[in-house]
Amino acid sequence: MNIVVCINHVPDTETKVKVGSDGKSIDQAGVNYMLNPYDEFAIEAALQLKEKHGGQTLVVSLGGDAHKETLRKALAMGIEKAVLLKDTSVRDSFSIAKALAEELRAISPDCILFGKQSIDYYDEQIPGLVAEFLGMPSVSVVVKLDVKDGTVMCEREIEGGHEIVETRLPAVISAQKGLNEPRYPSLKGIMAAKTKPIEERQPAIVPPFVEVIGMNKPPGKQPGKIVGTDKSAVPELIRLLHEEAKVI
């Protein structure tokens, strides 16, 4: 099975976001980057598919040189090959997905895995866009995945439950937390990843359709009132919720 995982390099979850001087993006000072958390589930799923069905695994990321660090993490976890689609231009989900799809078309994968979303822009668009560009079925927000004789059985999360979805390979799958327990890179894996080559290519990027015209911090909430310090505060809390906030 020819398995590809598309991953992203994102500011870590502890980042305190400040708006940058351009007023449209975040201030990069002091921001640490990491492998997008949802992508870890996609990488783990790829490794498990390979262990079960055999085949090759490839990881792809689109971005600048900094993305190599994240590609190396995927290699350390056990992915065999890495490709960096080197681009630092202004783009949106559509332009990224188009570039990924062009790249993937050439290698005709059986299974393309993504994290369900990137925790920076929260678009949740790229897996579906890539699938449509490649004319493949897709299942998003997957919490259970089983492949047998080319048939893919999935469960995807919906509000208040799961949808059970059946499809055939080749297919695009986006992974949700809960799909599996991502492995930690072994020491051997980390050492091996250092010497594995990362192939660099220049993708063709189409201009974005979505233009960011400004970034702001959300209207800050002011600390409210401390109603009390023991259970005698409960009646007053209920009164406030009922009469002042009018939410119960």
Which x/- pattern over 169-208 shows residues binding another protein (rule: CB under 8 A)? --x----xxx-----------------------------x
Give the binding range for another protein (CB under 8 A) out of 44-52, 106-114, 154-162, 185-193.
154-162
For position 120 contacting another protein by CB under 8 A, the verdict is yes
Footprint (CB under 8 A) of another protein, residues 35-54: 37-38
Pick between residue 20 and residue 64 the one whose CB is nearest to another protein: 20
Pick between residue 106 and residue 247 the one whose CB is nearest to another protein: 247
Q: What would you measure as the largest C-alpha separation in the chain, in angstroms? A: 68
**Which amino acid would we find at residue 44?**
E
Footprint (CB under 8 A) of another protein, residues 229-248: 229-231, 233-235, 237-238, 240-242, 245, 247-248
Give the binding range for another protein (CB under 8 A) out of 45-53, 54-62, 74-82, 216-224.
216-224
Asked if residue 84 lies in contact with residue 71, where contact means CB atoms within 8 angstroms, the answer is yes
Which member of 106, 202, 224, 243 binds another protein (CB under 8 A)? 224
Footprint (CB under 8 A) of another protein, residues 65-94: 92-94
Q: Which long-range contacts (CB under 8 A, 24 or more apart) does 20-23 make?
A: 20/215, 23/214, 23/215
Eight-state DSSP code of residue 231: G
Residue reference for tokens 């009164």: 239
d(CA 174, CA 56): 19
Where do the DSSP E strands lie in 74-201?
Answer: 81-86, 111-115, 138-148, 151-158, 161-168, 171-175, 198-201
For position 2 contacting another protein by CB under 8 A, the verdict is no
Footprint (CB under 8 A) of another protein, residues 91-110: 92-94, 97
From residue 91, give the alpha-carbon distance in Å to each of 97, 138, 206. 10, 23, 8
Total number of residues that touch another protein (CB under 8 A):
85
For position 56 contacting another protein by CB under 8 A, the verdict is no
Pick between residue 82 and residue 139 the one whose CB is nearest to another protein: 139
Pick between residue 164 and residue 187 the one whose CB is nearest to another protein: 164
**Which amino acid would we find at residue 209?**
F
d(CA 38, CA 218): 25
